Amino acid sequence: MTQQANNDITIDQPASSVQTAGVAPIANQTEGFTFNHTMLRVKDPKRSLEFYTGILGMTLLAVKQFEEMGFDLYFLAKLTDEERQNLPEGDDLTIYTFRQRGILELTHNYGTEDKEGFSYHDGNSEPQGFGHICFNVPDMAAAIAWFDANQVTYQKRPEDGKMKNVAFIKDPDGYWIEIVQADLMA
């Protein structure tokens, strides 16, 4: 890291950083900021929780219920066995949840599960917006076999298109989930 001064703000820049338009220097004032979670609205929390815990192996960390406002929040993370065995309890678990990186928040607005034909915009059809979340897997072939055995819906299989070794699956609400194997991405 190299230290630079800019308008009385000390910043860190990776020594190997490439100049890209729009990239600003990182201000020290952001030290300790953590990108905690991404929120997706879901029609039926039972189906979504079964998918994210059963198919993708995430752990439900916290549920926040806001009955007077008509919605619940479900916070999930992809944890190791050791992390799952050592989770704190009570308020400490809530604090733990909001200190993590890569949390998925599923928001369920009451009544959507009963609305025939109701769906959320996945962000990939017009007008495009949000695109997808991504999971790294240790073995792409094994992951694809697991998804196939569980009748997961694909947007793109890894052998299709120009982007080889990248798959896109869909969750119960049609949100895209990119599946990559890190060592195949180089």
Give the containing element (helix H, strand E) for 85. helix 81-85
Q: Please state which CATH number belongs to domain 35-113.
A: 3.10.180.10
Is there a common fold for 35-113 and 131-186? yes
pLDDT band, residue 149 (cuts 50/70/90): very high
Q: What are the extents of the domains in the chain?
A: 35-113, 131-186
Given a cut of 80, is residue 18 above it in pLDDT?
A: no
What does the pLDDT read at residue 25?
Answer: 86
What does the pLDDT read at residue 22?
Answer: 87
Contact status, residue 179 vs residue 157, Cβ threshold 8 Å: no
Q: Which of 4-8, 12-16, 31-35, 102-106 has the highest mean pLDDT?
A: 102-106
Which parts of the chain are beta strand (E)? 2-6, 9-13, 26-27, 37-42, 59-66, 71-77, 103-109, 132-136, 153-156, 166-170, 176-180
Contact status, residue 133 vs residue 38, Cβ threshold 8 Å: yes
Which of 67, 68, 126, 178 is labelled catalytic? 178
Summarised one tens digit per residue, pLDDT across range 60-69 is 999 999 999 9
What does the pLDDT read at residue 13?
Answer: 58
Class of domain 131-186: alpha beta
CA distance 1 to 3: 7
What does the pLDDT read at residue 16?
Answer: 52
Given a cut of 90, is residue 73 above it in pLDDT?
A: yes
Is position 83 annotated as part of the catalytic site? no
Residues whose CB falls within 8 Å of the CB of residue 46, separated by 6 or more in sequence, listed in order: 113
